[in-house]
Amino acid sequence: MLDIKNLHANVNGKEILKGIDLSVKAGEVHAIMGPNGSGKSTLSSVLVGNPAFEVTQGEVIFNGKNLLELEPEDRSREGIFLSFQYPVEIPGVSMVNFMRAALNEHRKYKGLDPVSATDFLKLMREKRAIVELDNKLASRSVNEGFSGGEKKRNEIFQMAMLEPKLAILDETDSGLDIDALRIVANGVNQLRTPENAAIVITHYQRLLDYIKPDVVHVLYKGRIVKTAGPELALELEEKGYDWIKKEMGDE
């Protein structure tokens, strides 16, 4: 589904990603772990086409298409979804208008007619139940006045609405208490199918207790330095990141 080859990227002229290779197949969940500043969030930003990041080398193929040539909105319509680490507030734009615009753009891209108002509201009801958001959601402005936990649940709700092929969860666990974490993880698990895939970016093992990864990667100084099964996450939890740094000859 996703093939990343030798990906290099800069932000403000500084190279952050220094040659990433990563391959994700349908049905898989990949966890990307690593210490702060290793490039985890840069990787997710580059994949969704955030203009603040500049790709200098390498290629990314998503379902046969050259992802780096697509506009951010087309990457979304192709089925890439990012659950933002810091979801943005858009005052004055209601969730219902926002989601309807998004869903209809996705439908138009697939050659489908806009969704009817009744079907849309039904879908909203169904999907918000997955992350236990209440019905006031629809009339509230996008993320405005949401608590930290609500914002993250709202991200997963949007993911449920858009049914992406590849979901990237960027530190979705940060700032969540244990109940919110459980709700978010449950939501993600319910949305797993053999056809879609997920990249879970996290600093801690905690989230991976709930969302079981198939593969765990360690990102360090802009490179993937270790790849293994779920046991790697446990090892990291136990030993911290220092042994990786040592292994890399940094300390």
For 224, the token pair is 């993937």
Give, in degrees to the nearest 5, the angle at Cα 97 between 93 and 134.
90
User: Is residue 228 involved in binding other proteins (CB under 8 A)?
Assistant: no
User: Is residue 71 involved in binding other proteins (CB under 8 A)?
Assistant: yes
Q: Cβ closer to other proteins: 52 or 178?
A: 52
Could you tell me where the DSSP H helices lie in 89-147? 95-109, 117-130
CB of 68 to other proteins, least distance (A): 15
Site for other proteins in 16-55 (CB under 8 A): 48-52
Could you tell me where the DSSP H helices lie in 20-83? 40-48, 72-78
Other beta carbons within 10 Å of 119: 11
Q: Which stretch binds other proteins (CB under 8 A): 22-30, 102-110, 146-154, 238-246?
A: 102-110
150 Cβ neighbours under 8 A, 6+ residues apart: 133
Site for other proteins in 129-188 (CB under 8 A): 141-142, 158, 162
User: Is residue 69 involved in binding other proteins (CB under 8 A)?
Assistant: no
Q: Which stretch binds other proteins (CB under 8 A): 21-29, 100-108, 129-137, 176-184?
A: 100-108
CB of 78 to other proteins, least distance (A): 9
Q: Are 10 and 54 in contact (CB under 8 A)?
A: yes
Instruction: Tell me which of 91, 145, 194, 249 binds other proteins, using CB under 8 A.
Output: 91
